Amino acid sequence: MTHDLTLPSGTPTAEGLAERALRDPHRPRFHFTSPGGWLNDPNGLTHWNGVYHLFYQYNPLAPAHHRIHWGHATSTDLVHWTDEPVALVPGTDGPDRDGCWSGVLVDDGGVPTLVYSGRHGDRELPCMARGSADLRDWTKDRANPVITAPPEGVDTAAFRDHCVWREGGVWRQLVGSGIRGVGGTAFLYESDDLLTWRYVGPLLTGDAARNRGELDWTGTMWECVDLFGIGDGTDVLVFSAWDEGTTHHPLYWTGRYQGDTYTPTALHRLDYGGRYFYAPQSTRDEHGRRIMFGWLQEGRTDEANARAGWCGAMSLPRVVTLGTDGRLHQAPVPELAVLRRERVEVAAGPLTEPYTRLHAVRGDQLDIETTLRLAPGATARLAVRETPDGAERTVVEVFRGHDGVCGTLRLHREASSLDPTVDTEPRYGELPLDDDGRVDLRVLVDHSALEIFANGRPLAARIYPTRPDEAVGVGISVVGDVALERFDAWQMASAFAEGPRPLWP
């Protein structure tokens, strides 16, 4: 994403955005989207007195990244969302007059408090706002910005996004940034009152020169850093690796946070979809679960987004745990099951046909859960959103290497759309397998939003069939020895009521 502050030509006015959005066949129905206009990062995630609050980067005036507000929605089940009044509006003057960029919510002795990035020109500086008890009304602090400049030598336009926590009687904060010629970084600060911050130093700095261009390249700047402890003694540092125009992908370090430093043990990709699961943020909910959302960016042109009247979806909320392999394991929250309607079951057994169209399973709102067992060298492919003539189809592929241990999860989008202007690049990543070659695969199809979980590894993407009404088929093809142990599919109900949602409730 470029941070251009002008609207693309031809952008419609706010009028009618929600109606346009409603008519768009590509708009998800059980992933959270804004009522209309633009949505990007999840912000201020919290579970507050039994209510989940999802704030998000929002432009209610146009489907373009311009003068970003904080949208707000609440839920008691992480599935059905109520639109709340816009939480933060860019100031008419002051440090956030060009946008209220990403940030977090903390509980300051019972007072909900936002720490976010104010944008003015190309300056990004930390700001804060105090909330009412119901988290609906927010008052910006008169002292904003609460940090008046980045550490010396750091670009003012690369100093944003926050992770704030309480530790040993003080507040600590990370601000995402980059050190020119060195790499992305997270600067550590400390405060007694969230207002006056002492700079401690970089918690960890990447190496922008190494593996440039690789899928795990750490970029020149780290956006949306998120530090949390998980499992027994592992600290995870999530960040979105960024480089102007070329790199947007979420990564995480596993390692140990101690004192003022973070000692990494390993670097991993957070989601194989790359930019399609960007700028994630997580919170520990009142049940003790680590819940994470990411921004599912669009894969179509700015003009197509403008015509659609909306832009950007939130991922499904995910439960994140630490796997026995020391990596993060991700799954959609179990609450989603309330949207499951008719179930179709496919009989278990060896898959002998090279291709089987599953006629009973059809739709553009589906939840598919299957367990496959692959012999070494075998491949299984699940096609979704397939037209009857097969001209459009999106294929989820799992492959077990000949050595039996290594596998690959791959998403083929080359035929996902006949529209040459949409992104159809494939996506792939490593698939962990046990000795039996078992693959637990979950595929959630929600119009243009697709989320795949294979043995706990996620891959999010967007797809835009040109014949959306016909692209509802599902099929399986195999090469080699593949057994189907289980296959269940559900039609998914919509999580939103019919009718346009007010852009500014």
Instruction: State the nearest-atom distance from the C-beta of 176 to ligand DQQ, in Å.
Output: 7
x/- contact string, 258-297, with ligand DQQ (CB under 6 A)?
Answer: --------------------xx------------------
Q: Smaller CB distance to ligand DQQ: residue 102 or 254?
A: 102
Member of 11, 57, 254, 305 binding ligand DQQ (CB under 6 A): 57
Member of 59, 75, 102, 205 binding ligand DQQ (CB under 6 A): 102
Query: Do residues 116 and 100 lie in contact, with contact meaning Cβ atoms separated by under 8 Å?
Result: yes
Q: Smaller CB distance to ligand DQQ: residue 59 or 370?
A: 59
Q: Smaller CB distance to ligand DQQ: residue 205 or 297?
A: 297
For the segment 395-434, give every residue that binds ligand DQQ (CB under 6 A): none
Residues near 93 by beta carbon (within 8 Å), at least 6 away in sequence: none
- Number of residues located near ligand DQQ, criterion CB under 6 A: 14
Task: Provide the β-strand partners of residue 122.
Answer: none
Instruction: State the nearest-atom distance from the C-beta of 40 to ligand DQQ, in Å.
Output: 5
Query: Do residues 501 and 86 lie in contact, with contact meaning Cβ atoms separated by under 8 Å?
Result: no
Does an H or E element contain 128, and which? strand 123-131
**C-alpha to C-alpha distance for 85 and 75, rounded to whole angstroms:** 14
Dig out the tokens for 115 from the structure: 């720490």
Query: CA nearest 421: which of 381, 466, 458, 382?
Result: 466
Task: Provide the β-strand partners of residue 250.
Answer: 240
Does an H or E element contain 151, and which? none
Q: Is 160 in the site for ligand DQQ (CB under 6 A)?
A: yes
**C-alpha to C-alpha distance for 492 and 445, rounded to whole angstroms:** 9
Q: Is 98 in the site for ligand DQQ (CB under 6 A)?
A: no
Q: Is 117 in the site for ligand DQQ (CB under 6 A)?
A: yes
x/- contact string, 2-41, with ligand DQQ (CB under 6 A)?
Answer: --------------------------------------xx
**C-alpha to C-alpha distance for 373 and 360, rounded to whole angstroms:** 22
**C-alpha to C-alpha distance for 106 and 114, rounded to whole angstroms:** 6
Instruction: State the nearest-atom distance from the C-beta of 99 to ligand DQQ, in Å.
Output: 7
Q: Smaller CB distance to ligand DQQ: residue 113 or 455?
A: 113
Q: Is 453 in the site for ligand DQQ (CB under 6 A)?
A: no
Member of 73, 78, 179, 224 binding ligand DQQ (CB under 6 A): 224
Residues near 396 by beta carbon (within 8 Å), at least 6 away in sequence: 381, 382, 383, 384, 409, 410, 411, 441, 443, 452, 454
Q: Is 68 in the site for ligand DQQ (CB under 6 A)?
A: yes
Enzyme catalytic residues: 41
Residues near ligand DQQ, by CB under 6 A: 1, 40-41, 57, 68, 101-102, 117, 160-161, 223-224, 278-279
